[in-house]
Amino acid sequence: DPVREHTRTGLSKAALMQAYIDNLFYIQGRFREVATPHDRYMAAAFTARDRLLDRWLKSAQVFKTTHARTVCYLSAEFLLGPHLLNNLVNLGITRASREAATEMDLDFNAILEEEEEPGLGNGGLGRLAACFMDSLSTCQIPAIGYGIRYEFGIFDQAIEDGWQVEKSDTWLRNGNPWEIPRPKIRFPVLYGGYTQSYQDQDGRARTRWVPDQEIDGMAYDTPVLGYGVGNVNLLRLWKAEASQSFDFQAFNVGDYYGAVHAKIEAETISKVLYPNDEPEAGKALRLKQQFFFVSCSLQDMIRLHLNTVGPLETFADKFVVQLNDTHPSLAVAELMRLLMDEQGMEWEPAWDITRRTFCYTNHTLLPEALETWSVNLFERLLPRHLEIVYEINRRFLDEVRMRFLGDESRVARMSLIAEEGVRRVRMAHLAVVGSRAVNGVAALHSELVKTTILKDFHDLWPEKFHNVTNGVTPRRFMVVSNPRLAHLITEVCGDDRWIRDLGRLRELESHADDPEVQARWRQVKTAAKQDLAVWLRQNTGVELNPAVMFDVLAKRFHEYKRQHLSILHVIRCYQRLKQNPGQEMVPRAFVFGGKAAPGYYLAKLIIKLINSVAEVINHDPQVNGSIRVVFMPDFNVKNGQRLYPAADLSEQISLAGKEASGTGNMKFSMNGALTIGTLDGANVEIREEVGAENFFLFGMTVDEVRQKQSAGYRPWDIYNGDPELKADIDLISSGLFSYGDTNLFRPLTDHLLHQDPFMVLADYRAYLDCQERVGAVWRDPAQWDRMSILNVARMGKFSSDRAIREYAERIWQIEPLPVALN
């Protein structure tokens, strides 16, 4: 029926209206008169989804018939953010959709607001995976994202009495229109038990794993459409379920309670995302989760390969698997097991395939954040995999010994097993040994990977090491979140090709001094600040004046990111205004946002401090005309999209050498914020691109940090040598921000004065001086606008499209495969 076809796939306003009404009726079961906001959202979502599915099936057909080489991106986290508007943008139907809504007397923005975002990640690493999925599709690279369908994503953050309170994230409560359940795509995942040796029919020695737990992973698919292309890739997330295998049911005959218990236990595995952005010691469930999604994904790939291409010898030609940090690094051992124990392959060919299949991305330099699992736990859950790890290690260490004769300390350093204290499996070493390529996520970080944490491996295999600087998708972080800016850019550039070719933003450069463009640029920024101010007033009660500088620091809370350095600056501004009420100071709104891991006491105390300082300052009429402080609760993708367009100043102030890349830095700068930052992570490259004169740099370099540390860092001396710093810390200690309680912030102030592992005090003076320079430029609006325009103009490098093309060419050896649009 051609009319039906049109309703499901048509892109005109009329087709969209018809589709919406149909979906409201046939999917939601509602007449328009009684539809709830949620019904309206669902009808809109299904309208977009129908159009995705049409392209998806065409893509799948092309990929299957051409036997396309495919990237598999394995990640424990995908921090996707809201789908609806993003999909409308990529379909190219935002305008038609808005018009359709208006014509039906619907509030388009209210429909968008109704969507609950899937928060299946902690922060940067999870969001990077989501940006990469968008760019893989846009760059027309056949890809599957594999991960876990957590029933509860990252917790929702509420602020109560200034403290962070965690609320469980029930994102699936009202159903998820973007996923397609695949009850028939299901794989068994095994745990525990023991291994035995036996001889197969040909008399060859083999190993059999006799597990004591079996669960199923079931696939849920979410289509990922590229921008302005026919290509749709697949995000396949696994949900854990009780095993449906016959043996298991028989085992439970007559034991009804036992069977129900087994079901609950099985489903625990994909129940909740671990809310730490650093490994937590010894959590068996976390290891089970990692193995769960790795095993399902590899079994799925093997099934796909046998169904299409055929012999497993060509597996590494069909698939390249990117490991997003070490969280999926069990894949190295699991692929070996599947190839040998399940497919009957010998060690050498299996190892050859394995090593040609995997690539590993490192995201951290903090030694305490490198993942290890105790051999005990590993053996209890994955006895067969421990044997395989030992055998990989035995062969690998032989190679090291051969290459570095007599260097036994090097052998110990490189071993997959750490032998100090309780023996632990070093997951990064497993990932490096089992991979073809290893990369860091920014130039500085990749250098530090080679010279510090993985130096021994770089000595052995220098050609294995790469850099691919991170990027972010300009679709979500410009077009979706900042339509006014996108519109202005398109007008100034003459067309919208910059959206898929971000280098074209350079066209803006020649307009940076044009007063007319500057005026419109400023209007766009002010309008975004107005929007944010409304949201913040409604959600926190704090009122901000959109005319003042919005100085924003939003990211996960961690000491190395130094949110406390920023709050010391706020306290300094406060004291200066109090001591000298007539003094001229550039008015600012300090906006903070971010979650702390629930068990990270100091990070939570820093949140409390920010809120306590905010309360005092915002209620002090002597200063609140000049400075205000607000904490945006529940910083997530949706709220980030409100924040980035409204920022004048972006705070990127980590201690040099600690932030692998950062990606918020890119999102702010793409939206016209100027950056105050250290020489850390991708800040280095952002500054290189936008020009040193358009970036507010402060603080020690990596080398200076090292020198200070080895000379014996003494924060106490800095405190005593700087009267302003002393006064700021003393004001916290005085109880002014804690209703006279001089103990509340003691753990924080004591830690700064006597430990200060991230050298907040050492960079304090340089930071304050730099903030003065920021203030001086702000007083010259033409200068500020020029710098803001130049920042955006020169951000082309930081599109995730560029990052994906680099992976494709340098690491994956894969070519784009365009899928025709109809």
Closest contact distance (angstroms) between CB of 361 and ligand 26Q is 7
Q: Return the number of the residue (589 or 660) whose C-beta is nearest ligand 26Q.
A: 660
Closest CA to 189 of 268, 282, 306, 78: 268
Scored b (16 or more CB within 10 A) or e, 351-362 reads bebbbebbbbbb
Q: Return the number of the residue (429 or 529) whose C-beta is nearest ligand 26Q.
A: 429
Q: Return the number of the residue (243 or 661) whose C-beta is nearest ligand 26Q.
A: 661
Please give the backbone phi and psi of residue 206, each rounded to the nearest 5 degrees, phi first: -135, 170
Supply the residues annotated as catalytic. 363, 555-556, 561, 663, 667
Closest contact distance (angstroms) between CB of 206 and ligand 26Q is 33
Closest CA to 77 of 270, 233, 301: 270
Q: Using CB under 6 A, list all residues that contact ligand 26Q.
A: 122-125, 128, 274, 276-280, 286, 327, 363-364, 371, 441, 470, 659-663, 681
Closest contact distance (angstroms) between CB of 684 and ligand 26Q is 13
What is the identity of the amino acid at 274? Y
Structural contact between residues 180 and 149, judged by C-beta atoms closer than 8 angstroms: no
Q: Return the number of the residue (131 or 614) whose C-beta is nearest ligand 26Q.
A: 131
d(CA 616, CA 571): 10
Q: Return the number of the residue (79 or 718) whose C-beta is nearest ligand 26Q.
A: 79
* Strand intervals (E) in 5-135: 70-74, 78-79, 119-120
d(CA 620, CA 235): 51
- Sign of the torsion formed by the C-alpha atoms of 299, 302, 306 and 311: negative
Partners of residue 223 on adjacent β-strands = 234
Structural contact between residues 743 and 750, judged by C-beta atoms closer than 8 angstroms: no
Question: Angle CA(549)–CA(551)–CA(557) in degrees, nearest 5?
Answer: 165
What is the identity of the amino acid at 515? P
Structural contact between residues 650 and 682, judged by C-beta atoms closer than 8 angstroms: no
Closest contact distance (angstroms) between CB of 567 and ligand 26Q is 21
User: Which CB contacts under 8 angstroms, 24+ apart, belong to 94-99?
Assistant: 94/483, 96/11, 96/12, 96/13, 96/16, 97/16, 97/44, 99/13
Closest contact distance (angstroms) between CB of 580 and ligand 26Q is 39
Q: What is the 3-state secondary structure (H, E, C) of 572-624?
A: HHHHHHHHCCCCCCCCEEEEEECCCCCCCHHHHHHHHHHHHHHHHHHCCCCCC
Q: Return the number of the residue (574 or 812) whose C-beta is nearest ligand 26Q.
A: 812
Q: Return the number of the residue (232 or 430) whose C-beta is nearest ligand 26Q.
A: 430
Q: Return the number of the residue (124 or 177) whose C-beta is nearest ligand 26Q.
A: 124
Closest contact distance (angstroms) between CB of 642 and ligand 26Q is 21
Sheet holding 588-593, edge to edge: 627-632, 588-593, 549-554, 649-652, 674-677, 696-697
Closest contact distance (angstroms) between CB of 609 and ligand 26Q is 22
Closest contact distance (angstroms) between CB of 652 and ligand 26Q is 10
Which residue number places its CB atom closest to ligand 26Q?
Answer: 124
Please give the backbone phi and psi of residue 706, each rounded to the nearest 5 degrees, phi first: -60, -45
